[in-house]
Amino acid sequence: MATPMNDDSVEKLLEPFRQAVKCQGDLVKKFKDDNINKEDAEFKQAINELKLRKKALEEQITKWMPKEESIDRLKMEDLLKRRFFYDQSFSIYGGVNGLYDYGPMGCAIKANMLAEWRRHFILEEQMLEVDCSMLTPEIVLKASGHVDRFADFMVKDAKTGECFRADHLIEAHLEKLLKAKDITPEKKTEIERLLPQVDNMKGDDMHRVIVEYKMKSPITNNDLSEPVAFNLMFATSIGPTGQLKGFLRPETAQGMFVNFKRLLEFNQGRLPFAAAQIGNSFRNEISPRSGLIRVREFTMAEIEHFVDPTDKSHPKFETVANLEVQLYSASNQMSGESPQLVRLGDAVKSKLINNETLGYFIGRIYLFMTRVGVDKRKLRFRQHMSNEMAHYACDCWDAECKTSYGWVECVGCADRSAYDLTQHSKFSGEKLVAERPLAAPKKVQVNEVQAHSSIIGKSFGKDTGAITQYLQKLSHDDARVLHDKLEKGDEKITIDGKEFTITRKMFTFRTSEKTVQVEEYVPSVIEPSFGIGRIMYSMWEHNFRIRPESEQRTYFTLPPLIAPYKCAILPLSGNEEFKPFVKQISSILIHAGISHKVDTSSGTIGRRYARSDEIAIPFAITIDFDTLKQPYTVTLRDRDTFRQIRAKIDEMANILQGLSSGTITWGEICSQYPEFIEQQATKEQQ
Amino acid sequence: MATPMNDDSVEKLLEPFRQAVKCQGDLVKKFKDDNINKEDAEFKQAINELKLRKKALEEQITKWMPKEESIDRLKMEDLLKRRFFYDQSFSIYGGVNGLYDYGPMGCAIKANMLAEWRRHFILEEQMLEVDCSMLTPEIVLKASGHVDRFADFMVKDAKTGECFRADHLIEAHLEKLLKAKDITPEKKTEIERLLPQVDNMKGDDMHRVIVEYKMKSPITNNDLSEPVAFNLMFATSIGPTGQLKGFLRPETAQGMFVNFKRLLEFNQGRLPFAAAQIGNSFRNEISPRSGLIRVREFTMAEIEHFVDPTDKSHPKFETVANLEVQLYSASNQMSGESPQLVRLGDAVKSKLINNETLGYFIGRIYLFMTRVGVDKRKLRFRQHMSNEMAHYACDCWDAECKTSYGWVECVGCADRSAYDLTQHSKFSGEKLVAERPLAAPKKVQVNEVQAHSSIIGKSFGKDTGAITQYLQKLSHDDARVLHDKLEKGDEKITIDGKEFTITRKMFTFRTSEKTVQVEEYVPSVIEPSFGIGRIMYSMWEHNFRIRPESEQRTYFTLPPLIAPYKCAILPLSGNEEFKPFVKQISSILIHAGISHKVDTSSGTIGRRYARSDEIAIPFAITIDFDTLKQPYTVTLRDRDTFRQIRAKIDEMANILQGLSSGTITWGEICSQYPEFIEQQATKEQQ
């Protein structure tokens, strides 16, 4: 086992690994500077080597990480399930992988987090929130690219038909080989070079590796099928005929793009504006593991900020410019450097972050994450390297949280340029554009095709509709030709095998000049996209604690804003005289809208405090014998410090409201009210 | 056209229709008192005649309804779509029937309604909220009965394949025939007798009617297929193998039933308690019409209150006992009477409402509905008649809202007895019970089957597992027989064709007596189930208004609690000096968590007030030239009365918070602040 060491000595140990990454990063940069073809074998090899060295560096960093930073995941998950924060869905029927239910505690935390998200983003920026259908017809997801590209490769057990995600299976197999005692140095090098490539492999490459290493099903040792691409969307059919194929949406974003015109109109035609949506999305993962990190049904909160591509400044950028945020830039990653603490103002000025709007959202995401309980030391923004980024994106930063599963992507924040609106425009035929005023009015050519149906009608009766439509749909070039011919004499046209003679009076094509004040453009989209379940999971890991007195006393230090209940109400004992006070205090808190849990069960007060700590309740009101005397008072205990104060019952709603919303701190409360020391305080009772 | 009349003269016109229903109702009652077989032809005929007469009465009531109660639905829907409260989903791709998106206004209203629902139900009753998967494996919905019974009959156009809901098609056809001018009196009577039966028809009956009346596709006039049952659940498959069939849940309730054990444990084993869930459900309607009333994807809020069937009293019933609620009892319906305004306390006392808990929820539903803007004069609770109710339910009341579509069921409130838990217990094999203390300890027989695997292992090695399992799974009767035989000598058993000799030492069956303090029981469930979209739609209809001055000025009188924004901020004009005040006031309101909309667009202040009224904003702050002088003040205008007051900017957050949460009324504000009269007030400017 690695022993924790001080920062300096760890840094000395890491130095050679950092150097190795840097050397290789410089080589890759040089290739790029030389504009090398991305498919060049030597270049690909250099990229792989870089990944390999980055991985080795990450492993070293994890190895030397201070022990207090690591958590006992099993113990935490035990608590989360025992007190029903969440658990597997349908488990009385054996459960379904990748589906989870939130119990009362998880559900309350989620509701609090979403309420804060609405306040922090939607209210603050006056965003336009929408709530769109999850059922989505195929054409929409054709346009977005999901029908063609939203897939993972899978292999099947040739006999049982069990499916595995191909990349995960190959990686697990190679890692197992690496750990074998009798591995030769040559084999080791070979596998170490292969491993970082798995991520980017297509089906053919994977098949070659599976055959070469004679990989079998890890469960049955049977042969495996060739890898096939498996689309991750859940398919269904809408309506009774079975003719309208649909999917459950894989993200909420498309609902905002297809409503762009309505939203722009709602915003009176003005840009920039942001749409936002909170809702569930679905991915039919091949073999979901990693608990809440990889699930088949999940809640997202997404923002689509529409902006003029020629002006991505943000009027409120100054409010976040002084924040210091851990940025793990593409260049840091190439050089083997750690993430850097950078002032956002500097990052945008130096063009490390592409533009102010992107920088503004990174700042707002940082503030949100730390406010809901993510540990800022375990939060970084990692920039996508150019080979990770979608071809249309111009910059992308993931907010990653450090967990026992490694660094987990919790929020993506991408500048997607004009890709999405362009695609939907192409597939739907609807113009999805905004207008910007021109510096000076401009003259443009306007073409007008006109079939005069009243005149056509006189000659052709019931065929008028077909003829009018035919003429109206002519391309501008064809229309011009027809117009010119008609100047010289009548013309014959054929529709559905029938011939009609068209005269000059039936058809006009005109080109005129018009002065315009505005020009149309397709807006860019900046998209912060939040995985709520992953943020919750990270927040649980970052706030999980074990009391030094006892391994059994586990609890969560969630901030009051997010805690499922703000307060516990505990009578010191089952004494009848306490009961009316329990009822009275509960009713005061209900009236004030403060969520709370009454625990009148038997058990020592210490045991009930521990039960209340387990579900992250930050404060506990205790009714004791002094409560019975006028002026009626109770004690209020803080979960994290064990300290207690004594105050009047009447004051409780106010105190708790202040503590829950963060307008007053526990420290300030302690200085305003007398501390309460339990007469026979023992460790067990606390 | 019917002219509105006063109540007395209308009642006189209705009297014969009421009498006709009553006579028939008495006949049906008599049949029931005589315990007639429900399948008896004469009885069925009597029920149909009763329905027919009820329908005629309803039609008369609608006909004589005062005109001010009816609304211009087209005008309202135009406003709802124009200002993007909601609209059809994916309409740039032609749209999908039965799928709607909520825009910023609808979404904010929905969020406010759900927040109030959480406060009113979950916080007030300390309910256990859960958030369960929508994807549901087949077995769960087998248990609930949805796989077998959640279906409508449909017919197909024989050539185009277009589908129609059979009952709707038949009803529309018959109603059209009734309206024909040349209909004979005999035919009229025949159809009038047939119509009320359509609701209850099975496929065969429907087919007979379709053939008899030579019904064709209403679109193409092609022949129709025989009616077939079409299950209304959306099917999909979970995981890559295609072996796990799943559905999108048709209601949220099942998630709570399958989590019953965890929830009971969370509640420390105590009953009663309630679980609650807000979430989306899905129904693949055959041919959805009626706008938001019948959709394929919708948000529900459901409560499952688990209670001991022997004690359905409710400790807080007294808090609603004095509410007077419109109850439309089964007996009212049988007698042609109108709904009655009844004190809930009396309704429970007289057993009209089955029990206190059911009565308590009816009261709470009433309070919620009226608080969010449903007009109490257009809200009634209709009891299910015994022939409508599921066989297991013991009482059921629907909260219905009167809309231009007729009375629409918005909330169901049913006592479902122990049905759901019993079914899931049967299908999953898990015991879903609670315990109640016995009045006196009781002695019971306990049977214990024990296979001694250590001894079995010595004789049978690798077969030990199979043998132990076989023995352990014997029924108590078989185990007793085997035990008795072993007392006399060894016994041979056969597992998978293999024979094993079992000895006395390998197996024991013991029956002993045990004293127990508790007994197990399956709890009853009382289920209030809210259709959020339908409540929103009813609320819109009940609050839609047209200003007397102009047909164009339409608006909604939504209560501030539910209104999408609490306040508009409007500078009197585009004057530069107003701008810093707009920014300052907006920032004060953001800080106070008050949602608002800034409208700095051009247009007279009157026009902007009208735009703000359209989206139901209850209050508007106007910045005028007096604002520029110290002490800085603004005017505050009330949407419904047009009255304005003048107050300091600093006071605005407080005033609006009070008005939004309902702690202060507009009338009170008016008495505290000076009224502001516009200098050149004209109708247009208001």
Question: What is the C-alpha to C-alpha distance for residues B248 and B237, in angstroms, rounded to an integer?
Answer: 10
Residue-level pLDDT at A194:
85
Nearest to B393 by CA among B255, B529, B285, B271: B529
Query: Which of A25-34, B542-551, B639-648 has the weakest average pLDDT?
Result: A25-34
Phi (first) and psi of residue B163, to 5 degrees: -105, 145
Inform me whether the C-beta atom of residue B151 falls under 8 Å from chain A C-beta atoms: no
CA B436 to the chain's CA centroid: 31
Q: Does the distance separating the beta carbons of B90 and A258 come in below 8 Å? A: yes
The pLDDT of residue A21 is above 80: yes
Residue A67 confidence class, pLDDT cut points 50, 70, 90: low
Distance from CA of A654 to the nearest CA of B (A): 16
Neighbouring C-beta atoms of residue B243, cutoff 10 Å: 11
Distance from CA of B330 to the nearest CA of A (A): 35
Which of B80, B90, B567 is best to mutate for the A interface (most A CBs within 10 A)?
B90
Residue given tokens 């006028």 in the structure block: A630
Q: Does the distance separating the beta carbons of B284 and A240 come in below 8 Å? A: yes
The pLDDT of residue A1 is above 50: no
Dihedral, CA of residue A6, residue A11, residue A17 and residue A18, to nearest 10: 150
Residue-level pLDDT at A561:
94
Q: Where are the domains of chain A?
A: 1-67, 76-135+249-433+522-547, 152-231, 440-518, 565-684
Distance from CA of B239 to the nearest CA of A (A): 6
Q: Does the distance separating the beta carbons of B296 and A93 come in below 8 Å? A: no
Across the range A430-449, mean pLDDT stands at 90
pLDDT in tens, B565-604: 999 999 999 999 999 999 999 999 988 889 999 999 888 9
Residue B7 confidence class, pLDDT cut points 50, 70, 90: low
Burial of A674 (C-beta count, 10 Å sphere; 0-12/13-18/19+)? exposed
Residue-level pLDDT at A434:
96
Kindly provide the ipTM of the predicted complex, given to two decimals.
0.84
**Least CB-CB distance to B139: which of A93, A134, A248?**
A93
**Which three-class secondary structure state does DSSP give residue A662?**
coil
The pLDDT of residue A486 is above 50: yes
Phi-psi region of A307 (alpha: psi -120 to 50; beta: other; left: phi over 0): beta
Interfacial B residues in 566-585 facing A (CB < 8 Å): none
Q: Does the distance separating the beta carbons of B162 and A132 come in below 8 Å? A: no
Q: Does the distance separating the beta carbons of B595 and A123 come in below 8 Å? A: yes
Write down the mean pLDDT value for chain A: 90
Residues of A in Cβ contact (< 8 Å) with B83: 266
Inform me whether the C-beta atom of residue B92 falls under 8 Å from chain A C-beta atoms: yes
Side chain identity at residue A328, one-letter code = Y
Distance from CA of A361 to the nearest CA of B (A): 18
Which residues fall within 8 angstroms of residue B129, CB to CB, at 6 or more apart? Answer: A104, A107, A108, A111, B118, B122, B275, B276, B277, B278
Which of A92, A238, A263 is best to mutate for the B interface (most B CBs within 10 A)?
A92
Phi (first) and psi of residue B306, to 5 degrees: -90, 130
Residue-level pLDDT at B195:
84
Q: Per CATH, which fold does B152-231 belong to? A: Herpes Virus-1 (3.30.40)
Across the range B636-648, mean pLDDT stands at 95
The pLDDT of residue B248 is above 90: yes
- Percent pLDDT > 70 in chain A is 97
Which of B92, B123, B590 is best to mutate for the A interface (most A CBs within 10 A)?
B92
Phi (first) and psi of residue B348, to 5 degrees: -75, -40
Distance from CA of B647 to the nearest CA of A (A): 24
Residue-level pLDDT at B84:
96
Nearest to A305 by CA among A297, A291, A296, A315: A315
Q: Does the distance separating the beta carbons of B136 and A90 come in below 8 Å? A: yes
Interfacial B residues in 404-433 facing A (CB < 8 Å): 424, 427-428, 430, 432
Task: Kindly tell me the sign of the dihedral angle through the C-alpha atoms of A540, A545, A551, A554.
Answer: negative
* CATH 3.30.70.1090 correct for A76-135+249-433+522-547: no
Class of domain B440-518: alpha beta
Segment holding A477, helix H or strand E: helix A476-488
The pLDDT of residue A61 is above 90: no
Question: What is the C-alpha to C-alpha distance for residues B191 and A371, in angstroms, rounded to an integer?
Answer: 67
pLDDT in tens, B107-154: 999 999 999 999 999 999 999 999 999 999 999 999 999 999 889 999
Query: Which of A393-402, A457-466, A533-542, B415-424 has the weakest average pLDDT?
Result: A457-466
Buried/exposed code over A246-272 (b: 16+ C-beta within 10 A; e: otherwise): bbbbbbbbbbbbbbbbbbbebbeeebb
Dihedral, CA of residue B256, residue B259, residue B263 and residue B265, to nearest 10: 160
Which residue in chain B is spatially nearest to A100 when comparing CA positions?
B133
The pLDDT of residue B297 is above 50: yes
Residues of A in Cβ contact (< 8 Å) with B280: 134, 280
Residue A69 confidence class, pLDDT cut points 50, 70, 90: low
Distance from CA of B6 to the nearest CA of A (A): 43
Residue-level pLDDT at B457:
84
Q: Does the distance separating the beta carbons of B265 and A84 come in below 8 Å? A: yes
Residues of B in Cβ contact (< 8 Å) with A246: 96
A:B CB pairs within 8 Å: 212
Strand partners, B529: B302, B412
Residue A66 confidence class, pLDDT cut points 50, 70, 90: low
On the CB side of B474, how many CA atoms lie within 13 Å of its CA? 24
Q: Does the distance separating the beta carbons of A83 and B132 come in below 8 Å? A: no
Interfacial A residues in 297-326 facing B (CB < 8 Å): 297
Q: Does the distance separating the beta carbons of A163 and B240 come in below 8 Å? A: yes
The pLDDT of residue A293 is above 70: yes
Nearest to B245 by CA among B139, B145, B143, B148: B139
Which of B87, B89, B306 is best to mutate for the A interface (most A CBs within 10 A)?
B89
Q: Are strands A235-238 and A151-156 parallel, antiparallel or unpaired?
A: unpaired
* Sequence-distant contacts of A394-401: CB under 8 A, at least 24 apart: A394/A354, A395/A353, A395/A354, A395/A355, A395/A358, A397/A327, A397/A353, A397/A358, A397/A362, A399/A362, A399/A365, A399/A366, A399/A369, A400/A328, A401/A369, A401/A374, A401/A534, A401/A535, A401/A538, A401/A541, A401/A542
Question: What is the C-alpha to C-alpha distance for residues B578 and B595, in angstroms, rounded to an integer?
Answer: 20
Beta carbons of B585 and B569 less than 8 angstroms apart? yes
Across the range A396-424, mean pLDDT stands at 95
Write down the mean pLDDT value for chain B: 90
Question: What is the C-alpha to C-alpha distance for residues A384 and A329, in angstroms, rounded to an integer?
Answer: 8
Residue A681 confidence class, pLDDT cut points 50, 70, 90: very low
The pLDDT of residue A684 is above 70: no
Which of A133, A154, A617 is best to mutate for the B interface (most B CBs within 10 A)?
A133
pLDDT in tens, A320-351: 999 999 999 998 888 888 899 999 999 999 99
Q: Does the distance separating the beta carbons of A430 and B297 come in below 8 Å? A: no
Residue B2 confidence class, pLDDT cut points 50, 70, 90: very low
Task: Kindly tell me the sign of the dihedral angle through the C-alpha atoms of A120, A122, A123, A124.
Answer: positive
The pLDDT of residue A391 is above 80: no
Residue-level pLDDT at B57:
83
Residue-level pLDDT at A65:
66
Residues of A in Cβ contact (< 8 Å) with B262: 84, 87, 103
Across the range B23-29, mean pLDDT stands at 85
**Which three-class secondary structure state does DSSP give residue B382?**
strand
Pull the structure tokens for residue A254.
Answer: 């498309």
pLDDT in tens, B416-452: 999 999 999 999 989 999 999 998 998 988 888 888 8
Residue-level pLDDT at A536:
97
The pLDDT of residue A207 is above 50: yes
Which residues fall within 8 angstroms of residue A15, CB to CB, at 6 or more apart? Answer: none
Q: Does the distance separating the beta carbons of A430 and B239 come in below 8 Å? A: no
pTM: 0.85
Which residue in chain A is spatially nearest to B615 when comparing CA positions?
A266
Beta carbons of A456 and A464 less than 8 angstroms apart? yes
Q: What is the CATH number of domain B565-684?
A: 3.40.50.800
Q: Are strands A395-403 and A379-383 parallel, antiparallel or unpaired?
A: antiparallel
DSSP H helices in A259-408: 260-266, 330-335, 344-349, 356-371
Strand partners, B383: B397
The pLDDT of residue B166 is above 50: yes
The pLDDT of residue B8 is above 80: no
Question: What is the C-alpha to C-alpha distance for residues B15 and B3, in angstroms, rounded to an integer?
Answer: 18
